[in-house]
Every structure is written in C-alpha cells, then in structure tokens.
Chains A and B, each alone.
Chain A
Amino acid sequence: MSLTIPTHYYLYLSAILFTTGALGVLIRRNPIVIFMCVELMLNAVNLTFITFSTQHGLRIGAPQYDGQIFAFFVMVVAAAEVAVGLAIIVAIFRQRHNVDVDEVNALRG
C-alpha cells in the first residue's frame, strides 16, 4: 500500500480555496469578514508555496526550504496586515458607529 498523494490535488485545492476567498471579498459587506476572506486567500497561496517546495525537494533529492520560508514571510505580512486593518476598523467604528463598507466611502475622517 503506497501513501502517495499527487501534487496537483493540492494545487486544485489551493485554487478552490483562493476562489472562495475572492468570492467572499466580492459579496460580503462586513469588513471583518472581508479580512477573513483575505486570510483565506493568503493561506491558499501558502499551500501552493509549500506544495511546490516539497515537490522541488523530492525532485532534486534533497530537502528545499525556500517555499516554506516564503510561506513564513507571508504569515508575517498577514499578521501585520491584520493588526493595522483591525485598528483601522476600530478607528472607523469609533467615528461613525457603523463599519458597513458601502457607507464608509470617504478617506477623510
């Protein structure tokens, strides 16, 4: 019994998850849910990075960690983005008591 999973299964799953996140960004109006959907998309990209990293390592016969390090950087950027984005949402809520993205259409506070 072999324990193998083809690579393109992971890539199709990543495409589906990325599309789900993009759909959520397009149809939702709550900015926090939109941020969650951006996280979904970033995670889909991370899955692709790690899949290709492992595949490359298997191909050349030695472990390769470049893709995993890229995924690590994506995680760092996502953390910074979430912190700043949620702070912006809190600031908007403090001024307007409403964070519906259709009604927050001016950058000026």
Chain B
Amino acid sequence: MNVANLGFFLVAGLSIVSAGFVIFHPNPVRSALFLVVNFICLAILYLTLNAQLLAALQVIVYAGAIMVLFLFVIMLLNLGGERAREDALAGQKFAGGFLALVVLGALSVGLYQVVSAKETRPVTDAWRLEQMRFQAPPGKEGEVQIAQIGSELFRNYLYPFELTSVLLLVGLIGAVLLAKRRLPEQSQPEGQRRDRP
C-alpha cells in the first residue's frame, strides 16, 4: 500500500459512492449532480492513466455539455420524484438487485481468473496484470500526446471519424424533429391523443 494506491482508493471510493447516490437518490436533479461528481472522479483516474486528453474531454463533454442537457430537460419537464407504486412489477427491486449481483459476480470471477492465471496459461501471458504497473504521468506529455492522438485519428481512424460526424448530424436532425412542436394547422389540443382509424 503506497501513496498512489491510497489516492486511487480515495478517488475510486468516491466514484462508487457517488454512483450509488445517482441510482438511489429520489430527486433526479441531485442524481445528476452526483453523476457530475462521478465523472470528475473518472477524469482524475484518466489522468493517472496518462490520458490527459480524455480527462479534459471527460470534464468538458460529459460533466459540461451532457449534464447541462440532462439538467435542462429535468427542469424543463419539472420532474419530481417517482411516485411510490405497489401494483406494477412487485419485486422488481429485488430481482434487479439479484441480477446486478449476478453480473458483478460474473465480471469479478472472470477478472480474478485472468489476474491469477499467470503460469498456468501462457496464452494469457500478455494479461499478467500483476506485473503491469503504472508510473505516474510525467506531466510533460500533454501536447505531444494530443498531437499523436490527432494524427492517429486522422490516419488510421479516418473513416470512423467521418462516420461519427454523420452520426452527430443525424442525431441533431432527429432531436430537432422529435422535440419540435407540431405546426399550428395540424396540431391538436394539448394533452389529447390523436385517434386515427
């Protein structure tokens, strides 16, 4: 247990606790704010992984843009807490918790097998996680790293990059079409469902 591990456990614990508050807090606005805390913790972890560009993007895109969108919609719709319901899907929380435990157990068992299989499976030699230790980021590589990522992005990943621009355009048009009000001549009174034959 060294200082880096202690820092990791602090940030990781904070991210897990904030994720727990995201899913258990009844107020959606506070869930969104705890999600911002979680995103910032993950940005710190990206920094320890020598991924400075992704850390900056995490804060700007996720904690900035996406969470503003979430908070805007929550406050626009004025959504309160969920109503307590007993009728529909009784036992949903119990079944959900059980399934989440199953998922966590499967992931943990798989990870433990990979981590502990050092000498038995030479195929997984590249996965000797015990020997892979991270150095702290030197701190001088930000600019060089961004330049390298950019050249990689426009050289090896040019077509996926262009496809993401098409995806964003389609998402933009779709969001505008879905959320716009209907034109006055074809609109119906608010809150009334249209009945078609």
Size of the A side of the interface (Cβ < 8 Å), in residues, is 79
Are A22's CB and B103's CB within 8 A? Answer: yes
Interface of B is mostly: helix
Are A86's CB and B69's CB within 8 A? Answer: yes
Determine which of B19, B23, B62 lies in contact with A28 in the assembled complex, contact meaning CB atoms within 8 Å: B23
Of listed B107, B148, B149, residue having the most chain A CB within 10 A:
B107
Instruction: Specify the chain B residue showing the minimal Cβ separation from A54.
Output: B49
What are 27 contact pairs spanning A and B, CB under 8 A? A5-B133, A6-B129, A9-B12, A13-B12, A20-B16, A26-B96, A26-B97, A27-B93, A27-B96, A27-B97, A30-B28, A33-B31, A39-B35, A40-B38, A43-B58, A50-B54, A63-B50, A78-B62, A80-B170, A81-B171, A82-B70, A83-B175, A84-B178, A86-B175, A87-B175, A87-B178, A102-B89
Interface set of A (CB-CB < 8 Å, partner B) = 1-13, 15-24, 26-30, 32-33, 35-37, 39-40, 43, 46-47, 50-51, 53-55, 57-59, 63, 65-66, 68-69, 71-73, 75-84, 86-91, 93-97, 99-100, 102, 109
Interface set of B (CB-CB < 8 Å, partner A) = 2-5, 8, 12, 15-16, 19-20, 22-23, 28, 31-32, 35, 38-39, 42, 45-46, 48-51, 53-54, 57-58, 61-62, 65-66, 69-70, 73-74, 76-77, 79, 82-83, 85, 88-89, 92-93, 95-97, 99-100, 103-104, 107-108, 111, 114-115, 126, 129-130, 132-136, 145, 148-149, 152-153, 157, 160, 164, 167-168, 170-172, 174-176, 178-179, 181, 190-191, 193-194
